[in-house]
Structure 1
Amino acid sequence: MASKRDSSVCTGSASESLSSLSANDFRTYNRMSEQMDAFHHHFRLTWDQLWGACAAPGNRPGGLSARQMILMGLQFCSQLDFHHSIEEQHIFPVLAKKMPEFRKGLDLLRQHEQIHAGLEKLEAYLESCRSGEQDLRREEVKRLMDGFGEVLWAHLDEEVQTLGAENMRKHWSLSEMRRLPM
């Protein structure tokens, strides 16, 4: 699952175009999208480095030793799980009051469940490698990552787009946007 990044921060159409917003109002409406994209950028970079180390030939593929790869993978799992916990406990419930996309049972939260299932498998494997129960097999790490990579990449992009100015202005006033968490 090589990186597939759409550089657009928001898409869609509204009866009034974004160009009718002042630059300051656009920044207010787009703030959460930009902040979320910064978090997601870190996850994309780490994913690409891990995945690249799995696919690269040689004694130290991607410049990572087995120990470095295990620790990086475990850190990735932990940080992504923590990120999702914050979203689910503090951000999504507030957004769900006006935005159906953030309600339980819909795509963004179902994606979290699918991603978490993949993270659990990857983390369990990497923990068994760290403890010495198993030797690290890069092809196994790649297989586990590929098991949830498509949904992860789609989620990273969809969440940023959903928080974009075009969508946020459909649901929130400028004063409400200033009070939203994040």
Structure 2
Amino acid sequence: MPPPPPPPPPPRSFIYLKTAASASRRRWPHIAPPGISQKFPYSQQSKQAIMTSTAADEPSPPTDAADSAAKPEEPETNKAPKLSDHDFKIYNQMAVRMDYFHENFRRTWNLLWTYATTGERRGGLSPAQLVRAGLDFGEHLTAHHGIEERRVFPALARRMPEFDPRRGDLVRQHAAIHAGLDGLRAYLEGVRRGDEALEAAALRARMESWRAVLWAHLDDEVRTLGAENMARYWTKQEMMSMRW
């Protein structure tokens, strides 16, 4: 008579299934656990929920109290991945384009500022040409910021707080810049019409109060759009689709 078949294995308990699920999440951290919205990158709330869910499933290993006190757990941060040279160019493309526009603004500002501080009209410009350069500067900067606030900033603000239309640092810089720019444009328009005289001291008075915030903004915006920072918030595919 053949021997009886071995008994079936015991059913896996609920605790086993939970532990297996926890191990799976540790192995594949990009798969969100049930009830957690899967987005890239995770919000801080999602990260905390994942950490709490995983920690609750399994007992903590024994640790020495002194070690625990010496090495407190640090909060999770959204760290940038290491980028190859090829990926760096993809992630840095917006910063490169932005700096191209900003460099034009820097050059024109320096042209005006040189006259405002020394009385010298660089490049042999006539007074009328200098005024025209200043008016073009104001027109182009206003248009540039308008495009950013209508098309670029709202999309980036979904993940990047600097571009938030209500509280973002870069948006607040825009407001401070235009408070000063309006005065400069009004003065130069008066000179163009013949209502005002072009004087170095008068031009400087319309530029000096917002000079620092303008230059900080031109640098801060490019830095924020740089590869290392953008890689913290966007996938490579998302970066390749940004065609502003």
Shift of 1:16: 5.5
Q: 1:83-127 deviations in whole A, cap 9, x for unaligned?
A: 000100010011011111100222100100010111110000000
- Picking from 79, 83, 89, the partner of 2:144 is 83
Q: With structure 2 as the length reference, what TM-score do the two structures score?
A: 0.65
1:94 correspondence with 2:148 = no
Say how many residue pairs are matched. Answer: 166
- Picking from 126, 133, 145, the partner of 1:72 is 133
Shift of 1:156: 0.3
The residue type equivalent to 2:139 in the other structure is S
Q: Whose RCO is larger (CA < 8 A, sep 6+)?
A: 1
Q: Counterpart of 2:217?
A: 155
SS at match of 2:194: coil
Q: Counterpart of 1:181?
A: 243
Unpaired runs of at least 5, structure 2: 1-77
Q: Percent identity?
A: 46
1:141 correspondence with 2:210 = no
Q: Counterpart of 1:115?
A: 177
Q: Report the RMSD for the aligned CA atoms in angstroms.
A: 1.7
Aligned equivalents of 1:38, 1:91: Cα separation in 2: 16
Larger Cα-atom Rg: 2
Unpaired runs of at least 5, structure 1: 1-13
Deviates more, 1:136-145 or 1:40-49: 136-145
The residue type equivalent to 2:141 in the other structure is L
The residue type equivalent to 2:178 in the other structure is H
Aligned equivalents of 1:138, 1:115: Cα separation in 2: 21
Aligned equivalents of 1:15, 1:73: Cα separation in 2: 42
Aligned equivalents of 1:147, 1:178: Cα separation in 2: 39
Q: Counterpart of 2:26?
A: none
Q: Counterpart of 1:7?
A: none
Q: Counterpart of 2:27?
A: none
Aligned equivalents of 2:80, 2:95: Cα separation in 1: 19
Equivalent pair of 1:53/1:64 in contact (CA under 8 Å): no
